């Protein structure tokens, strides 16, 4: 039986070593998530950290994925059990937690996302057990390892502490955040700076030698995409809804408007 969030689709593709591609969502209209699925993306990145998305809006986006093969991931505002808990009960395929800079912080993420005795997640699901179609014992057994846990490596401290972070059980994906990582070096936006490239290479090498998946959230270009493939990145959030809309809109108006007008 398929899940309510296509988590099994993502897991199967990652286990097969395939590359999975997502797009960031900041607009409130859940038609954006429906569009992402129609366009063929593997997952969405519903951004509660930087975008004005509340729980009700995120729920509508998550529901819009059902019946597709696209999986909804939600980036929460911060690494706090009470921030993470209500998002978990919306039953996304994955939770993305920003600014995880130490093993202690990584352990806190896992505890927040798992029921006792593994974690401290409070019990009160609704969509997960399909509103009662799945019994509590079956739900707890079948979905003990859900959702997929993604932590962001986006600070120099996380790079320094990466060996200890990788030793924490329960983390599925480590996702590079290039802008904040460069900012923590005093070089915001300079993602091709030699120090930045060295840090990214170090993360890629260490994650690649582990049993975890390496991810990234960044803009798309043919050149940068080739680099991410060389580094072994398998989970990529490429661009975001407003950037794609702006780029397509600008291309249309520039093509249609007479030159020089």
Q: Note whether 90 and 65 are within 8 A (CB).
A: no
CA distance 137 to 123: 12
Q: Which residues pair with 71 in a beta bridge?
A: 43
61 assigned to active site: no
Kindly report the backbone phi and psi dihedral angles of residue 162, in degrees, each rounded to the nearest multiple of 5, phi listed first. -65, -40
Q: Which of 109, 115, 143, 122 has its CA nearest to residue 7?
A: 143
Residue 183: burial class (beta carbons within 10 Å; 0-12, 13-18, 19+): middle
User: Among residues 50, 55, 61, 65, which one is catalytic?
Assistant: 50
- Residue 1: pLDDT band by 50, 70, 90 thresholds? very low
Domains and CATH numbers, the chain: 7-256 (3.20.20.60)
Q: Note whether 176 and 201 are within 8 A (CB).
A: no
The string of pLDDT tens digits covering residues 60-90 is: 999 999 999 999 999 999 999 999 999 999 9
The string of pLDDT tens digits covering residues 24-69 is: 999 999 999 999 999 999 999 999 999 999 999 999 999 999 999 9
For the segment 180-189, the average pLDDT, to the nearest whole number, is 96
Whose structure tokens read 């480590």? 174
- Residue 258: pLDDT band by 50, 70, 90 thresholds? confident
Helices 81-88, 103-113: crossing angle, 10 deg rounding: 40
Q: Percent of the chain, pLDDT > 90?
A: 96
Tell me the pTM.
0.96
CA distance 96 to 77: 9
């Amino acid at each position: 039986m398929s899940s309510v969030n296509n988590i099994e689709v993502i897991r199967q593709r990652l286990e097969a070593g395939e590359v999975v591609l997502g797009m960031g969502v900041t607009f409130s209209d859940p038609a954006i998530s429906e569009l992402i699925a129609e366009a063929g993306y593997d997952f969405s990145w519903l951004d509660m950290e930087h975008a004005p998305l509340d729980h009700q809006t995120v729920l509508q986006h998550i529901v819009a994925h059902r019946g597709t093969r696209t999986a909804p991931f939600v980036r929460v505002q911060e690494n706090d059990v009470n921030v993470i808990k209500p998002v978990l009960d919306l039953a996304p395929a994955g939770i993305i937690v920003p600014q995880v800079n130490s093993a202690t912080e990584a352990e806190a993420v896992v505890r927040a996302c798992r029921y006792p005795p593994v974690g401290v997640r409070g019990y009160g699901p609704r969509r997960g057990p399909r509103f009662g179609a799945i019994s509590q014992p079956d739900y707890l057994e079948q979905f003990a390892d859900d959702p997929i846990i993604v932590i962001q490596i986006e600070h120099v401290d996380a790079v320094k502490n990466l060996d200890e972070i990788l030793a924490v059980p329960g983390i599925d994906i480590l996702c590079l955040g290039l802008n904040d990582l460069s900012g923590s070096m005093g070089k915001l936006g300079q993602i091709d700076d030699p120090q930045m490239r060295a840090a990214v290479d170090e993360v890629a090498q260490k994650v690649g030698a582990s049993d975890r998946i390496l991810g990234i959230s960044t803009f798309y270009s043919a050149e940068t995409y080739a680099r991410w493939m060389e580094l072994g990145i398998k989970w990529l959030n490429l661009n975001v809804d407003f950037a794609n809309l702006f780029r397509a809109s600008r291309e249309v108006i520039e093509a249609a408007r007479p030159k020089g007008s």
